[in-house]
Structure formats: structure tokens, C-alpha cells
Amino acid sequence: MLEFLQAVVLGIVQGLTEFLPVSSSGHLLLGQYFLGLDQERFGLAFDVALHLGTLLAVVAFFWRDLLRLAHAFIRSLTRNRNFSDPYQKLAYLIIAATVPAAAVGFFLEDIISTVLRSPWIVVVNLVFVGVLFIVAEAVGRRTDTADKMTFWQSAGIGFAQAAALVPGVSRSGATITLGLFLGLRREEAARFSFLMSVPIIAGAGTLQLGEAVREGMNAAQMLMFGAGFISSAVIGYLAIRFFISFVADHSLRAFAYYRFGLAAVVAVLLVVL
């Protein structure tokens, strides 16, 4: 029963922090460190559940956009490409953003997940990215839509997504911040960030799912899988819905202040304990 409740808690944390710009990896690491919620104890199947849960959340929210993107991409293969079509161009921009993120993740994820798994790394990155939020809000034009980006700019956002492998950075935080620096409106930067996360989350989840199937799951692992999947999917969907609505009229400063406050509390605890 205790492990089931811990699985639900980790699923909620994953669902909230995967899409809000506060770093899911940072929160999970801190939860493990201070509360003894050892995510790895639940095994590979539980990791798959968290990935698939957050994937379901973003697909459920953006299913219309994703269908239009898929149709536009297929149309570009059967006819002449027409980048004046916003969905067709957006599909290729997402591909351009996915390539560097996938490459960095493939070659460096193991190194990053072992070398940089420290609470102090989380503290530093919580503050650093929070400062970037404030600077981006101050200097960003916030006038453009995502389909106005160049492919090089999109690839840059892909590298920003890869930086989220470092605990405390945040996938959505890094990509939305760079989007603001490039002149995107907040809601456009958030929408592009979530859409471009689909192939990365799907790819990682598929690879892990194949390994989990080969290893097999016992009854306890299946229970953990269901708890993590459902809680991360439901909370992830609500987090996306809230965030898209929030950033349409509000700045990222509130999340910056949250990051600063969390970093201060963690730093004090690390020194005292």
C-alpha cells in the first residue's frame, strides 16, 4: 500500500512538473533525496508509465493540432512542399527541433543522469533558469507565431530541450524561454514546446517499453505501472490546460519566484541537515 501511494505521488509530481516550467527531473530528484521516494525502486516499468502518462496528456490536449500536423506533413510528401501553409511549416520545424534533442539525449543522457544527479545542481539550475525567465520577459518582443521561426531557430530550441536533461533546468522552461528570446508570444512558445515534446517523449517511452516488455512485469509492477500512468496522465493534462491559459495573460515571473523560493529552501536544508 505504501509503494502504491508513493507511485501516485511520483505520478502527480511528474504530471505537474513535466509541463510547468519548474523541472520534473529536479523535483523527482529532490523528492528522492529528502522524502525517500526512490523512483528507481519501482523499476523500468514505472519509468515507462510516467513517460506514457505524460505523452497521453499532451496528445489528449493537442490531438487536433497533431492531426493537422500529420496531415500537413503527409501532404508535403505527396505534393510540393509549401511552407506558406503554417501547419506544414510547423511540422518541419518540429522535426528540426527533434533532431538535436534526440541526438544529445541518445549520446549524453547516461552521463548526465549519473554525473549531474546532485541536489546542489538542482539548486543552481533553479536559480539560473529563473533569472533567464525574467530576462526573457524583459527583452522578448512577444509578437510572433511559431511558424514564423527559421529552421535554425527551431534547431536551437531543440538544443534547449536537450539541456533539460540536466536536473533543475525544465524542458518547458528552457524551450519557452528561448522562444521568448526569439520573439514568440508566450502562448505560442508554450504550444510549440508541448508539440515538440511529443516525438521525444514518444521515442523515449517506446524504447523503454520495449525493454520493459522483454523483462516482464509481475503483479506489483503492474499495479505501480497503472498508478503512475493514470496519475501522471490526469495531472499532466490539467497542468497543460492551466499553463496554456495562464501564459496567455501572465508572465513567467511567478514561476521564476517559485524557483528562487524552492532553491533557497533546498539550499538551507542541504546546509542544516
CA 86 to chain centre: 24
C-alpha span between 146 and 263 (Å, rounded): 32
pLDDT of 205:
79
Rounded to an integer, the average pLDDT of 76-87 is 85
pLDDT mean across residues, the chain: 88
Tens digits of residue pLDDT in 161-200: 998 888 899 999 999 999 999 999 999 999 999 999 999 8
Cell of 17: 512538473
Distance of alpha carbon 215 from alpha carbon 229, whole angstroms: 18
Domain extents for the chain? 2-272
Mean pLDDT of 110-131: 86
CA distance 10 to 136: 31
C-beta neighbour count of 184 within 10 angstroms: 27
Secondary structure class of 82 (helix, strand, coil): coil
Residue 51, C-beta contacts closer than 8 angstroms, at least 6 positions apart: 201, 204, 205, 208
Q: What is the pLDDT of residues 1-25, one digit of tens each?
A: 677 888 888 899 889 998 999 998 8
* Cβ(142)–Cβ(186) below 8 Å: yes
Beta strands in the chain (DSSP E): none
- In the predicted structure, residue 39 carries a pLDDT above the cut 60: no
Comparing 250 with 29, the larger pLDDT belongs to 250
Of the chain, the percentage scoring pLDDT greater than 90 comes to: 56
Q: Above pLDDT 70, what percent of the chain? A: 94
**pLDDT tens-digit series, residues 241-263:** 999 999 989 999 999 999 999 99
pLDDT at position 103 over 90: no
Specify the pTM. Answer: 0.90
